Structure 1
Amino acid sequence: MSHNIRSSRSRSRSPLRSIPLFPLILAIPKSIINADFIKLQEKLASKCEVDRLHLASETNLPNFDEGFLYIYGPSLKGKIEILKSILSEIQRIIDRPTLELKILIPDNLIEALTGKGGKLLNKIQTNSHATITIVEEIKNLRERLIKIEGRSADVELAIKEVYRLIVERKSNSEPKSVLDKTSAKFVIPGECVGYLIGKNGLFTKRLKADYDVEIKIVKNEGLPCKDNEHIAMLLGKYRYVKTAIEIVVDKILEAIETTCSPISDLLVRMLIPTQMVKELIGPQGSIIKEISKKSGGAKIKVMCDTETEKMQDFTIVTIDGSRDLKQEAAIRIYEVISRGHKPSSPSSRRSRGYSPSPPTDNVSIFVTVPDALVSRLIGRNGDNVKGMMSRSRSQMSFQKQPSTELKTPENDKARLCTFTGSSSSIARGIKTLLDQIIKLESGRYD
């Protein structure tokens, strides 16, 4: 059950006014949440300088006996006034000199508190005389809880200092403008960045040479990403990026399998503008269901359930399933997100519902291939290249002689391989060709 109470008071002119709205989130014991508490909530909303109080008493978390009270508003003073009243009510009920209260904080704030031997955490405990404990991760809860124990005034001071840290960390985070909203973005573990880029940037060079797409690695942007995560951003023309997504997803999954230990999951995680979440989901989930169906049954989840997630500039979308399903779903999600930044038209949108992109005429893309491998790629009587064309349903033709001006990223002689077909068939063809090149270079050609 949720209770939303809006305050009729004007907003405070606190120095925090310029900081983006971020709620103070208290975990309230369910034993406290009764008719008297609801009345107190209504009284506080009208009395204190806050914009809104939101009580979520049903959290859908197993074995969790608390609800969440979200306190919205730019005024730190108003939030602390409400905190005092809540602490007073809890102490009145338990009738003990000391009490405890949990608050919800962004996951990536844990490292800030506990890093460098817990220096910051110890400082807050020393200043407030309260005891602070990091609660173990709770399944289905992507934020973290910290428990604060002590006398009422000590708990209040500790929460106040932790909340200031939340606000400062959010306001001082790297500007989101470094992320191009129309690009395809993937969240990746920090340890697999080197493998993804390749030795001496080999994969990025091939991506640029073969697809005319640049891949830019951006360090963690704060929520919704974790501190040890990076963002792989694909930049280029829409149709080129769309074609490159398949091989990039494949490379990301390979990088995770190779470098991450232990491997918790092999989900593909895309980063989309939060303002596009409704566009992606569609009425009654119609668009995201259609994307799942068209991709062959990929499991797609938009990670925008909690209040803190809804307030971020970007949202994570996870994709699960076989490798092929993940690749196809990622392409279709990119189609929807890109369409959201272009003028709508009846042919591309039906009553705001998802519809596949209209068929396009055949296009041609050129790929550089090491000259030394061309004869084996073609095969006797063209058997190998015919097999690749059959599997990908695209046309392939090799330049007859190596170009004097064309070199591979390793500075070897190269020829052009021309692919002709639809964007999806070309993507399959390029992947097939690159797989064969890898086999040849490793001496495992079938």
Structure 2
Amino acid sequence: MGAGYVGLTTAACLAHLGHDVTCGDVDEQRVAALADGVIPIHEEGLQELVRAGLDAGRLRFVVGAGPAADGAAFAFLCVPTPQGQDGSADMRIVQEVAAEIGPRLGQDAIVVNKSTVPVGSTRVVERSLGRRLAVVSNPEFLREGSAVHDFLHPSRIVIGADDQAAAIRVVDLFDGVGAPVVVTDPPTAETIKYASNAFLATKVSFVNAIANVCEAVGANVREVTLGMGYDRRINSEFLRPGPGWGGSCLPKDSAALVRIAEDAGYDFRLLKGVIEVNAQQQERVVAKVIRAAGGSVRKKRVAAWGLTFKAGTDDLRESPALVVIDRLVDAGATVTAYDPTRKEPLPGMAVAADPYDACEDAAVLVVLTEWDEFRWLDLAIVRNRMATPHIVDTRGLIEPAAARRAGFALSGVGLP
């Protein structure tokens, strides 16, 4: 449904994969041109795919969403969601198309939402269909200029569905496309799309700000970005939520760069925001622990797993774990910590010889460093040692189902 940039690429590529595809659009002139193999956009490889699909009889174009939906096993919504005056996505076209195709789809048809839509839009589509059909989110990650390549050689395929069987059927459509498949719920799939684009926007804004700093101090931004790009951490790593970043470099260098920019006459507000968010994250963890303790940690024992700023090191410098613990001590808590690299006491806290001892009579256990050994500890023993069954896991190490079986109330970072 829709022969625009996303819809046309999706239709042509699905036909290339061997499926029988009918693409519907309201623009009669566009449909007529496409039926003759003439595409309205310049996109490498797309013209050839459209013509190959037409010649093989696997691709056709019709006017209207309803005729395209007749007899379809899958209905891909690839229609515009223009930005409203308040910045939100306008869902009216999606709703109109869903209402049009709802009565014409078969009983087992699956509606696939490929348009960029607000989180929760699968529910909107379900209501608009006017009948009970599976609605699956399958966000697109196509770059203009390489859309065909991105569809056929994607970095990942994201499927969001409440119905596992429907999710598997949609995954099967991409058979032969070698890529990781992320199967999740619809809100998460929709959020992945927005989060991915927001992150890319952040990277662009960051490098633009760095370019401004380079201009002020006389550096070469091309060589700066070349040097940055070889750092694998700037690629896929460092996307794990936690209690904040620390260590010997990031806090110091970030603060220094802000000052360097200021001295050169540039207000590096983006980086100031990054630093502020980091401090806020640490305070949020403190608040989570206090909330888990019933609203106050005064005269209560708190167990802390992890002291170093990250696993695999004994470095305590600027460790977010220590910041969180210090705040809890300031709030009246008695903290006993465990870290594989530390045995001697530290100011303001006791250090236990093993993780179970740290939990003795604790009202809350907070996991602060991502040491792998914390994944495999016996939660039943932990529960027997603690005064009350509350865990705040800032690193995502504790398996929620295992925590529930052991009788724990578990809270994390970025989790329901």
Tell me, yes or no, whether TM beats 0.5: no
- Using the size of structure 2 for normalisation, the TM-score is 0.24
- Using the size of structure 1 for normalisation, the TM-score is 0.23
Higher strand share: 1
